[in-house]
Structure 1
Amino acid sequence: MFKEVKLECVPREKNSNADALAKMGSQQEAVLLGSIPLEVQEIPSIPEIEIMQVDEAPKETWMTPILAYICEGTLPEDKFKARRLRYQAARYVIYDKVLYKRGFNQPLLRCVDKEEENYILREVHEGICGNHSGVVRWQ
């Protein structure tokens, strides 16, 4: 995670090299090749840092008991909860290591946790899908 991020706007007139490179990349014939100064960088411009991998313990979600039962056959000790879990898990399937719910005459429904749910709702309402347009009323 970054401690600080700095964004700097470079005006177009002061960024002619990047503009020429972008134009060259979009053309099939490199007409501008002679006018662009190219530099080959032998060593990295920033020092290489050592990165430690952080292993997070898997989070407990509503899917955890279902996954444990389907993958490992693990059931709760309480007989009532175990019977309920077996009945519930019959409606789910794992495909490519992802849990899906089977529906009657429906496609498989991908199961998500709270974080993914929040992300999906934000993207649909204000992200890649554009603004949420609401209900269209025909008159």
Structure 2
Amino acid sequence: MNEKDQPKSKAENYKFHFKYLPTKKIEEGLEKYIPHPIWVEFYDYEDTDDLYIQKNNENKVITSIRCSNTNVDLARKCSMTWTLEPKMKILLKVTFQRSNLKDWKLIKRLSEEEVNKLFINKMLD
């Protein structure tokens, strides 16, 4: 990054917090995005997240997963967010260990099944 691209103040650094750049890589069936270099420089890599995105055929984001880059294994968590549209207007957020990123589809499916059970049981009451 050249000098003219560098932020002039700490406030300008904050503009790059939670800004991601595409990697053009697919990991576990998800598009991977990495933290902006200024975010990494200002906060250190361990205090940033990687972002993984699943899109539908219309290029709309349907699943978003943010995974911590911390060096502490037990703290390396991922947070997956998605909605149950069009069936229900429910936003789900599930947290799991980063080592389980490979199982994101299973985690998503099982979470949806549990929510569906809740609604079916409520309707039967």
TM-score relative to the length of structure 2: 0.23
Structure with greater strand share of residues = 2
**Structure of higher CA gyration radius:** 1
